[in-house]
């Protein structure tokens, strides 16, 4: 959380120090939205695990029933799953907040280009033959 906050603040100050034209302002607004969404995601996904760990520290000396141990185990599983969602959540934050990112993802998934690689031989002076496969050239 501290590292995320530090780099977000440094990015924000870097954008503020650049020239103030329309494109930079748009970029700054987009970065601000992404940082706020990223902070909210980080906070919401790490909070359950944080609360659970505090609860464990407070109640570690108590004698607990089987029902209470089962409830704690369930809460532990839920909090761990929530903390793992932060890793995939950044993808969804960028999809929701950034229009250029959405466009790039849509292009990557929908418009796959078929690459065709063909072999081509070229006869050079002194009897040297070069064979080309796509971008790779070999000497025969």
Let me know if residue 25 belongs to a domain: yes
How many domains does the chain contain in total?
1
Q: What is the pLDDT of residue 127?
A: 59
* pLDDT at residue 71 is higher than 90: yes
Which of 75, 101, 89 has its CA nearest to residue 42?
Answer: 89
* pLDDT at residue 66 is higher than 90: yes
The overall average pLDDT reported for the chain is: 76
* pLDDT at residue 58 is higher than 90: yes
Q: What is the pLDDT of residue 52?
A: 92
Starting at the edge strand that comes first in sequence, how are the strands of the sheet with 119-123 ordered?
119-123, 129-133, 136-139
Range among 62-71, 81-90, 112-121 rated most confident? 62-71
Let me know if residue 52 belongs to a domain: yes
Let me know if residue 129 belongs to a domain: no
Q: What is the pLDDT of residue 113?
A: 62
In this structure, what DSSP letter does residue 119 have? E
Let me know if residue 46 belongs to a domain: yes
Strand partners, 51: none
Let me know if residue 79 belongs to a domain: yes
* pLDDT at residue 88 is higher than 80: yes
Let me know if residue 74 belongs to a domain: yes
Let me know if residue 82 belongs to a domain: yes
Q: Which domain holds residue 88?
A: 2-97
* pLDDT at residue 28 is higher than 60: yes
Let me know if residue 23 belongs to a domain: yes
């Amino acid at each position: 959380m501290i590292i995320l906050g530090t780099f977000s603040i440094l990015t924000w100050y870097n954008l503020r120090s650049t020239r103030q034209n329309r494109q930079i302002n748009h970029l700054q607004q987009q970065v601000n939205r992404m940082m706020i969404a990223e902070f909210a995601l980080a906070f919401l996904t790490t909070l359950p695990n944080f609360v659970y760990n505090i609860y464990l520290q407070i109640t570690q000396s108590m004698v607990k029933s089987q029902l209470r141990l089962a409830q704690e185990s369930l809460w532990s599983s839920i909090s761990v799953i929530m903390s793992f969602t932060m890793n995939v959540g950044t993808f969804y934050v960028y999809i929701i907040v950034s229009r250029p990112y959405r466009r790039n993802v849509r292009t990557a998934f929908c418009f796959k280009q078929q690459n065709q690689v063909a072999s081509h031989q070229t006869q050079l002076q002194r009897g040297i033959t070069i064979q080309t496969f796509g971008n790779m050239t070999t000497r025969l």
